[in-house]
Amino acid sequence: MTRKIHLALHPYGVGGPGQHGLWKDPSIAKNASIDINYYIQQAQAAEHALFDALFIVDSQFINATYPAHYLNRLEPLTLLSAVATHTRHIGLVGTASSTYNSPFNLARRFGSLDHISGGRAGWNVVTSFDTGTSRNYGLEDHLDYATRYGRALEAVQVIRGLWDSYEDDAFPADVERGVFLDPEKLHALNHAGEHFRVDGPLNLSRSPQGQPVIFQAGVSEEGRNLAAQVAEGIYAPGASFDDARAYYADIKQRTAAAGRDPEHIKIFIHGGPVVRGNDLDAQRRAREIFHEDNDFDRNVALLGRAFGAHDFSQYDLDAPFPDVAHLAERGGRTGATKIIERARAGGLTLRQVVETFNEHKQSPFVGAPATVADTIERWFTAGTFDGINLAFRNNEDLTWFVDAVVPLLQKRGLFRTEYEGTTLRENLGLPIPVNRHTAERNLVDA
């Protein structure tokens, strides 16, 4: 079998959304989210298991109700730069907002990580749905959906242009001729668009993989269209087999319609495997994890994130779900709309909405090693994903998966037994982008 599963690791630190009780786990250091050694150890364990990437999420707004990991965590690119010096093969994917960063700054930071890591950097492009973030950047209002996604598309285009500032052979460094730079191979961008004006050039050469890999996560119409145009990796929810397969087919179709090769976009679904010696023990542990995290007050606060950190504690829990549709446009619109629609259809109270959206939903990847491997194989061969973005409760769960499930996937020819190359692009099977100026030159010469 030539098509292989890709695996990424998404560390939780002391607990993100839906893992409210993780910080209480005795095996989790209470400072894990700001301890670089925690991330280095997670990356090294994933690299030992031949995972494709370490994935770091981020946000830039909090209040006291936010999950423990959000309250006190390292900035992604600083973190990944440190991890890069302690790893050799695993990709390093960091989250950064196109809404609250300038393209030149992002191009330089991710380009630097790409050089530091030897060509293993990836950028997870987000538009930010925490409305409070705007006030941390001197803005009164959060941008609406259309503006955020239009800005994101232009930001990626500008950044890719900046990453092409130097052609690959721009630095002959010829001592005899006294020529360090070939000035004809250095190109200003001179971009003037709707959202940005950036002259360039960037003062950084291309890395061994040409450009960092562009990742994106979005299920809205705007998010899917952005993915089809620019993404090389996608983080998808993967809530159910049918939903995952429909999303996979839709993104691949949109990618082809955008004139791109659908094989050049890798879709990673979220997966939270729980593996034990037999199915019953794994299911029991999965239920235990749910109850460790099922804090009603925290769930009320978490509900507000989709509506711009709206405070739902102000409402009567047993009254009909409040009319907050106007808050969805500048928050997490897709998730907020889903909540509103279900509440209206079922005539649900606020309490019922909180309970409904936080009821126990067992991951499909729970069971004995063979059970989990069987499920992964069935989903993969049916066209629901190219890879899984794995989140484990703690190191025990990571070890169970690595030691018991990965060997089964390798034995079935579904997962690599060695890295294909030294860059993230090589390991994902993605092409190195040809420098646009070199391509133009070659076209003229032809």
Map out the domains of the chain as residue ranges.
6-280+362-442, 295-356
Amino acid 1: pLDDT: 54
Report the CATH superfamily, name and number, of domain 6-280+362-442. Answer: Luciferase-like domain (3.20.20.30)
Amino acid 330: pLDDT: 60
pLDDT band per the 50, 70, 90 thresholds, residue 134: confident
Which residues fall in the annotated binding site for FMN?
58, 95, 149, 220
What average pLDDT score do residues 115-129 get? Answer: 94
Amino acid 144: pLDDT: 81
Amino acid 329: pLDDT: 66
Degrees (nearest 5) of the Cα angle 227, 229, 231?
45
Amino acid 57: pLDDT: 94
415 vs 360, higher pLDDT: 415
Please, how many CA atoms are within 13 Å of residue 50, restricted to the half-sphere of its CB? 19
Q: Is the pLDDT of residue 390 over 60?
A: yes
pTM, two decimals, is: 0.93
What average pLDDT score do residues 122-146 get? Answer: 85
Strongest mean pLDDT among 78-92, 116-130, 215-229:
78-92
Cis peptide before 201 (omega within 30 of 0): yes
What average pLDDT score do residues 290-294 get? Answer: 90
Q: Is the pLDDT of residue 335 over 60?
A: yes
Bridge pairing between strands 191-192 and 197-198: antiparallel
pLDDT band per the 50, 70, 90 thresholds, residue 331: low
Degrees (nearest 5) of the Cα angle 37, 39, 45?
100
Residue 135, φ and ψ in degrees, nearest 5: -75, -15
Which residues fall in the annotated binding site?
58, 95, 149, 220
Q: Is the pLDDT of residue 188 over 80?
A: yes
What average pLDDT score do residues 179-200 get? Answer: 97
Q: Is the pLDDT of residue 156 over 90?
A: yes
Q: Is the pLDDT of residue 446 over 70?
A: no
Q: Is the pLDDT of residue 284 over 60?
A: yes
Q: Is the pLDDT of residue 130 over 80?
A: no
pLDDT band per the 50, 70, 90 thresholds, residue 443: confident
DSSP element (H, E) containing 39: helix 36-48
What average pLDDT score do residues 13-39 get? Answer: 94
Q: How far apart are CA 30 and CA 340, in angstroms?
A: 36
Could you tell me if 18 and 293 are in contact, meaning their C-beta atoms sit under 8 angstroms apart?
yes
pLDDT band per the 50, 70, 90 thresholds, residue 205: very high
Q: Is the pLDDT of residue 92 over 90?
A: yes
DSSP-assigned states of every residue in 230-262: H-SEEEE---SHHHHHHHHHHHHHHHHHTTS-G
Amino acid 436: pLDDT: 95
Q: How much of the chain exceeds pLDDT 90, in percent? A: 75
Average pLDDT for the chain:
93
Amino acid 193: pLDDT: 97
Interval 338-382: pLDDT, tens: 889 888 988 999 999 998 888 888 889 999 999 999 999 999 999
What average pLDDT score do residues 258-286 get? Answer: 97
Tell me the C-alpha to C-alpha distance, in Å, between residue 85 and each of 43, 52, 136, 207, 423: 11, 17, 31, 16, 14
Bridge partners of residue 86, in order along the sequence: none
Strongest mean pLDDT among 130-134, 184-188, 314-318:
184-188
410-419 LR contacts (CB < 8 Å, sep 24+): 412/373, 412/377, 413/1, 414/1, 414/4, 414/5, 414/376, 414/377, 414/380, 415/4, 415/5, 415/7, 415/50, 416/4, 416/50, 417/50, 418/50, 419/50, 419/89
222 vs 130, higher pLDDT: 222
Q: How much of the chain exceeds pLDDT 70, in percent? A: 99
